Amino acid sequence: MAPNPLTSEPGTGTRTTADPKILSLIRDEPTRFRLHSAVYTNQHIFDKEISRIFERSWIFVAHEEMVHQPGDYVTTNLGKQPVIVSRDEDGDISVLFNRCAHRGSVVCREERGHANVFRCPYHGWVFGNNGHLVGVAQRSGYPDDFFDWGLRLEPIPRVETYRGLVFANLDPTAPPLSDRLSSVRRYIDLWCDRSPEGRLRLPEGVHRYEFPANWKLQAENGVDGYHGNYVHESFVNILERSGERGAGSTTKTRNTLGSRNFAKGMPHGDGLLEREEGMLGTFDYRGHKDYCERLEASYGPDRADDIMMQRNIFIFPNLFLFESHIRVIHPVSPNTSYIDVHPTYLEGAGDETNEERLSEHERFFGPSGFGAPDDIEIFVCTQTGAAASSNPWLEFSRGMHREALNELGEVVGHSTDEVPQRSLYREWLRLMSEGERLEENGL
């Protein structure tokens, strides 16, 4: 009898919350790749994901435009740990633990705002937006050298920024962000350079939605080119009825074999869905002559053509760069997650282009759009099915027989192949296994 990954004994057909055998959760063979459904449902696995992945990796915490002016801040989490991203009076960005140095209360309870100082609600201690302690209620209760004790909002050990994307890492020994992003940097640049000036703006609003399913379902789905013909069939039919595009044409474009219709897996768990056309919710830049001329003037015709390719870019473990927006994954529990969607504006693209682009974003990705409800329904279906006691193995084998390694070190398949998902789970397994080794050595 095959061993049960959730116990140390041979398979019994029962599910437990015992320490799962991490290496047994993925079966990676030459022509077949399978995943045990416990990775969606097991509390112990989820807890280890938080400690071994989200609290030891470079995690996206904000875009610089979210804290545009001195005093601006946003709050988020690194794993389970609350943090504040703020811009101080010198214009520098700090990422601080959201925890008072006195008795441990959070000092900032809003998700976003503007403040010169953070005041603890418990006993009134006051911290500057760079984390320094600047005031204490009833100061006479402490000795003269009190401010020499070094009490402050503690900074996150590692904070680095690339093209406006702010990342933080709780591991002080982590390699530089430049090393982490080396394979995906080219695509980040192409994404940013959709702006003829190479700069993005973000509105203050954010579209947040929660769903009762595992965070990895969103990570898989955003670079899944296989589901669109089925999950989003109603939207394709609406495009046909409105005369915008025939359903057959959309399907044919997606299914075409050949160049410029790829799914890519990269080192570090990153992935990419890349098409010349046929991506739902994507703005048609090539149909806007003025924008194309601005882009070509900035970058030349060849690079402008590459920039206008349709891409969904996943940066493991929590960040998507879609054509129209930044999407951030927040894991809460094995069966609860929430997503933040931040629309973007392109500096130098012109008001008309930005307005039409935002309108297309709202139609598919917005709060009343078609895309998220379709996907969430599938996430719930998958999470529900994962609890079944039948064969627990999930197939991620599509396209393994036809994928290839290109000159950039990317694994490349057809855009409907599960190449990015395999990349995601290979990195997941590496980090989970490495974390297990570190924990066994008391690190």
- How many Cβ atoms sit within 10 Å of the Cβ of residue 393? 14
Nearest to 273 by CA among 406, 419, 428: 419
pLDDT of residue 103: 97
Q: What pairs with residue 385 in β-bridges?
A: none
pLDDT of residue 5: 52
- Please, which pLDDT band fits residue 3 given cuts at 50, 70 and 90? very low
Q: Span 259-270, mean pLDDT?
A: 93
Does the pLDDT value for residue 8 go beyond 50? no
Enter the tokens of residue 391: 């064969």
Q: Where are the domains of the chain?
A: 66-169, 181-431
Residue range 181-431, CATH number: 3.90.380.10
Q: What share of the chain is helix, strand, coil (3-state, %, to 5)?
A: 35, 25, 40
pLDDT tens digits, one per residue of 417-432? 999 999 999 999 999 9
Instruction: Give the DSSP per-residue string, 270-338.
Output: -EEEEESS--TT---GGG-HHHHHHHHHHH-HHHHHHHTSEEEEEETTTEEE-SSEEEEEEEEETTEEE
Nearest to 100 by CA among 125, 70, 73: 125
Instruction: Give the DSSP per-residue string, 258-277.
Output: STTEEEEE-GGG-EEEEESS
Does the pLDDT value for residue 9 go beyond 80? no
Does the pLDDT value for residue 305 go beyond 80? yes
Question: Which H or E run includes 86?
Answer: strand 81-87
pLDDT above 70 coverage of the chain, percent: 91
Q: Span 130-154, mean pLDDT?
A: 96
In the chain the first and final C-alpha atoms are separated, in Å, by 35
Does the pLDDT value for residue 19 go beyond 60? no
Q: Span 347-359, mean pLDDT?
A: 94
Q: Span 342-357, mean pLDDT?
A: 95
pLDDT of residue 17: 41
pLDDT of residue 236: 81
- Please, which pLDDT band fits residue 24 given cuts at 50, 70 and 90? very high
Give the fold, CATH level 3, of 66-169.
Rieske Iron-sulfur Protein (2.102.10)
Task: Decide whether 66-169 matches 181-431 in CATH topology.
Answer: no
Q: Span 378-390, mean pLDDT?
A: 93
Q: Span 3-14, mean pLDDT?
A: 40
pLDDT of residue 83: 98
Does the pLDDT value for residue 266 go beyond 60? yes
